Amino acid sequence: MFLQIRALLLVFLATHALGATYSQTDSFVGSSFLSGFSFQAISDPTHGRVNYVNAATASSQNLTFASSDHFVVRADFKNVLSSSGPGRNSVRLQSNKRFTTSVAVFNVRHMPQGCGTWPALWTVGSDWPNQGEIDILEGVNDQGVNQATLHTNSGCTMPSSRSQTGTSTGNNCDVAATNNAGCGVRMNDSRSYGPTFNNNGGGWFAMERTSSYIKVWFWSRQATGIPSDVLNGATSINTGNWGTPTAYFPNNSCPISSKFGAHNIIINLTFCGDWAGSVYGSSGCPSSCVDYVNNNPSAFSNAYFDFAWLKVYG
């Protein structure tokens, strides 16, 4: 009997190490986002034209809104800004818990859109970049498609050829060597970002992290073959049935366990800054980024996230 139990335990551990079967540890739906995340009223590390507000301000200005199965995070879309004053009011949320080996699945109905916008769903360690960063959803100025990216210190690179459906934008994850570009993978599904994502009713983003690899998937709401455990937000999931990931970051030449520490989940929307601002002139958007963000509040009426849920598995 002991040998049988030991054999079953070894099979379970081996399966989990391969990142196949996980059980739900956290579920954020509606108001539970407000209890599971904290507002970060901080200066924007990416130098955006943004003013991250605290919980009280977000509530009073209706920048966050929770109902039974909606959690909305948005930017101010009512006020013209003074050029000498702070940036546009917006929200940056950080999960209260940290995660290592895990799977995070985001069910998103709507993401922020508009010229000058830079929305992101990502995870990060407390000592950046030494504990790493994983960008799951990120883009700027409505210029799809979505990009998943790793940011690390030196000594983390990716093979040029690997099993993924996306297209690599670079294989050195070292922020110092790449001017903070990291090693990105652009998704080939036009529905993965911006107005096209929203017009198709949104979809699911998933990130699996183990000591052997990091994987990111995307399924549009209109896609066929969405895994049933993703579609239903099941309490148990099997990533082995999810097919080829959109982005695949193996540990061949990147020791993931030493490059990535315990991570918080971040939800944020900034404007202009290091990325959206630097490519604004080539994005087909009017004026300059800062002037546009300052003077066109109504342009940001669609600059909001609407989450059906976020579930974490371990």
Note whether 176 and 154 are within 8 A (CB). yes
**Residue tagged active-site, from 26, 44, 133, 189:** 133
115, burial (CB in 10 Å: exposed 0-12, middle 13-18, buried 19+): buried
Q: To the nearest 10°, the Cα dihedral for 231, 201, 29, 43?
A: 130
Q: Which of 69, 67, 119, 71 is nearest to 92 (CA)?
A: 119
Is 133 annotated in the active site? yes
Per residue in 72-127, pLDDT (tens digit) is 999 999 999 999 999 999 999 999 999 999 999 999 999 999 999 999 999 999 99
pLDDT at 195: 98
**Residue tagged active-site, from 34, 38, 98, 138:** 138
pLDDT at 16: 41
Buried b (16+ CB within 10 A) or exposed e, 172-205: bbbbeebeebbbbbbbebebbbbebbbebebbbb
CB neighbour list of residue 304: distance below 8 Å, 6 or more residues apart: 72, 73, 74, 75, 110, 112, 269
CATH of the structural domain 19-313, one choice from 2.60.120.200, 3.20.20.60, 1.10.3720.10, 3.40.50.10190: 2.60.120.200
Q: Which residues pair with 113 in a beta bridge?
A: none
Per residue in 7-26, pLDDT (tens digit) is 444 433 433 445 589 999 99
Q: What is the mean pLDDT of residues 281-295?
A: 97
Predicted confidence (pLDDT) at residue 302 exceeds the cutoff of 80:
yes
Omega before 129 cis (within 30°)? yes
E strand or H helix that includes residue 32: helix 32-36
Q: How far apart are CA 229 and CA 236, in angstroms?
A: 7
Predicted confidence (pLDDT) at residue 171 exceeds the cutoff of 60:
yes
pLDDT at 148: 98
Per residue in 187-208, pLDDT (tens digit) is 999 999 999 999 999 999 999 9
Query: Residue 157 carries which DSSP code?
Result: B
CA separation, residue 226 to residues 99, 199, 205, 219 (Å): 25, 18, 11, 7
Q: How far apart are CA 173 and CA 183, in angstroms?
A: 4
Question: What are the boundaries of each domain within the chain?
Answer: 19-313
